[in-house]
Amino acid sequence: MKLACKPILILAACLVSPLAQAHDNSLSSGLLAGLAHPLTGLDHLAALILSGCLIGRLATGKSLALVALVGALGAGAAGGILLGAQAGTEMLVLLSLPVLLACQWARQPGRLQQAIAVMSLFMVAHGWAHGVEVQGGTAAFVSGFLLMSSVTLGLSAFISRYLFMLRAPANERTHA
């Protein structure tokens, strides 16, 4: 990522972080609500795009990273549904955005893989918050939000990979 893009990401994270209180039990239920939330919940959308940006820079294991992050979202949702609200979940969701933004500076392949592991932990928190707030139609909502999260992660990874290949020096293209 070019240095000129990083201030824009920092500004975006600062603007979105206070809005990350999207988990207020106000969601309606159902498949359409689940499909819409990753696109309308600013914290969720920002986390997915930042995660996709890192997945796109991986040299190998993109599919595995995508499955791991969506699996973490699903596991978190199941935990929220089964165990209810837990102290600190919203704080982890809020903390996820600046940490995911900081992960964008990872350069070496090993660091990128560590960043994916960190993102998985935050995806559990995002999923947990959604699991807690879901009302009736749990399976439909969770299915919808996991499907749209997968699509959003995949698209942002694809776009990130394309942009990285356009802008990165030739010696970095083989390592990311």
Per-residue pLDDT tens over the stretch 40-95: 888 889 999 999 998 888 877 889 999 999 999 999 999 998 888 888 888 898 89
**For residue 16, is pLDDT > 80?**
no
**Cα-based angle 57, 167, 41 (whole degrees, multiple of 5):** 55
Q: What is the pTM of this model?
A: 0.76
Which two three-digit tokens encode residue 33?
A: 């609500």
**For residue 21, is pLDDT > 60?**
no
d(CA 168, CA 56): 13
Which two three-digit tokens encode residue 1?
A: 């990522």
**Quick one: pLDDT band at residue 122, thresholds 50, 70, 90?**
very high
Range with top average pLDDT, 4-13, 87-96, 131-140, 161-170: 87-96
**For residue 136, is pLDDT > 50?**
yes
Of 15, 4, 6, 83, the closest CA to residue 45 belongs to 15
Which two three-digit tokens encode residue 175?
A: 């390592």
Q: Domain ranges in the chain?
A: 28-173
- In the chain, which residue ranges form alpha helices assigned H by DSSP? 6-16, 31-40, 42-57, 62-83, 89-102, 109-133, 138-167, 170-173
